């Protein structure tokens, strides 16, 4: 590693336009099929200051509650050091823009960014892409996706990824980040309790990566298995979805295990007007035009 230096990087997020839970595994994880789409906003900002080998790791965050050893950034540094034998001093300042408990994968994006930067500085000890992805999966199922660059169809626990090209040109996406938070562990437990058989029976359309070989591909149905258990516990999220549709969205769905909700619009101006209305009601709203 080089002499001490500082770099500031932006970590975006992702949305799930389709998420179907297909089974519960013996190790406690769940198998799924999902369509991941990366977004540049909302964004976390990470300022990384590197020092010499053998130095300490330190993390400060705009949300002090996230500064512990369980933070994905801290886990990424420890995992990379263990895998490569390198131990560069690293001080991280994390300024959160991606809300926690929103289903947008902010923590996984942060971990992926740190892994990528560490690997770029590792010289001869740098990990091959497949090895880096496996390391990322040990931190979080979504981390391998953020090590890539574009939309992907995900299977397995979300780590079996196939890049896809989507026919999204001309569409606008409104992403709502309400003040509510939905715990991922709670959402999975609630879904398990509602589905003793371990699979979602309500979405009969089966999409696999084979469906994406013709490029570009149309979208699978906007669907999220978690809505069944999250909406009764958080009725405002159902109302946000309904409002997106009333405001002209051609489709709306919750992302991840919640609490973010998104709507696809065919008209960018209509999307901007919808987002403005939510902001006036104190709900954070972002617009992404494809």
Q: Is 95 a catalytic residue?
A: no
What is the DSSP code string of the chain? --SSEEEEEEEEEEEEEEEEEEEE-TTS-EEEEEEEEEEEEEEEEEEEEEEEET--EEEEESSGGG-STTSHHHHHHHHHHHHHS--EEEEEEEE--SPTTSSS-HHHHHHHHHHHHHHHT-GGGPPPHHHHHHHHHHH-TTHHHHHS-S-EEEETTTTEEEE--B--TT-EEEEEE-S----HHHHHHHHHHH-TTSS--S------GGGGSSSSBPPPPPEETTHHHHHHH-HHHHHHHHHHHHTT-SEEEE-TTSS-EEEEES-HHHHHHHHHHHHHTT-EEEEEE-
pLDDT the model gives residue 282 = 95
pLDDT the model gives residue 1 = 45
The neighbour count for residue 78, using CB atoms within 10 Å, is: 14
Nearest to residue 278, comparing CAs of 177, 180, 181? 177
Question: Model's pTM, two decimal places?
Answer: 0.89
- Considering the segment(s) 172-289 as one domain, its CATH architecture is 2-Layer Sandwich (3.30)
Q: Is 267 a catalytic residue?
A: no
14, 159, 241, 243: the active-site residue: 14
Distance CA 96, CA 61 (A): 7
44, 110, 142, 159: the active-site residue: 142
Distance CA 123, CA 112 (A): 18
Task: Domain ranges for the chain, please list them.
Answer: 5-163, 172-289
The CATH number of the structural domain formed by 5-163 is 3.30.230.10
Question: pLDDT digit of tens for each residue in the chain (290 aa)?
Answer: 444 599 999 999 999 999 989 888 887 788 888 999 999 989 999 999 999 998 899 999 999 999 999 999 999 999 999 999 999 999 999 999 999 888 899 999 999 999 999 999 999 999 999 999 999 999 998 999 999 989 998 888 888 898 888 888 899 999 999 999 898 889 999 999 998 877 777 655 555 556 655 555 566 678 999 999 999 999 999 999 999 999 999 999 999 998 999 999 999 999 999 999 999 999 999 999 98
């Amino acid at each position: 590693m080089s002499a001490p230096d500082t770099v500031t990087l932006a970590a975006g997020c992702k949305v799930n336009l389709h998420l179907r839970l297909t089974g519960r595994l013996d190790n406690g994880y769940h198998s799924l099929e999902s369509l991941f789409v990366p977004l540049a906003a909302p964004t976390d900002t990470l300022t990384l200051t590197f020092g010499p080998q053998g130095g300490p790791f330190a993390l400060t965050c705009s949300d002090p509650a996230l500064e512990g050893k369980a933070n994905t950034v801290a886990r990424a540094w420890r995992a990379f050091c263990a895998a490569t034998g390198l131990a560069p001093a690293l001080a991280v300042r994390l300024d959160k823009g991606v809300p926690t408990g929103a289903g947008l994968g902010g923590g996984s994006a942060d971990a992926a960014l740190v892994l990528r930067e560490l690997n770029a500085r590792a010289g001869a000890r740098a990990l091959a892409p497949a090895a880096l992805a496996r390391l990322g999966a040990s931190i979080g199922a979504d981390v391998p996706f953020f090590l890539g660059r574009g939309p992907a169809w995900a299977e397995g626990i979300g780590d079996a990824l196939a890049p896809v090209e989507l026919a999204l040109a001309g569409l606008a996406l409104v992403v709502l980040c309400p003040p509510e938070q939905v715990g991922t562990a709670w959402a999975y437990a609630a879904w398990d309790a509602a589905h003793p058989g371990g699979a979602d029976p309500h979405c009969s359309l089966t999409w696999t990566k084979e469906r994406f070989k013709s490029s570009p591909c149309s979208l699978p149905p906007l669907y999220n298995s978690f809505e069944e258990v999250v909406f009764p516990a958080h009725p405002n999220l159902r109302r946000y979805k309904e409002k997106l549709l009333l405001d002209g969205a051609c489709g709306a769905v919750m992302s991840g295990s919640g609490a973010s909700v998104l709507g696809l619009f065919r008209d960018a101006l209509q999307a901007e007007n919808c987002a403005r209305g939510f902001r006036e009601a104190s709900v954070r709203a972002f617009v992404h035009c494809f």
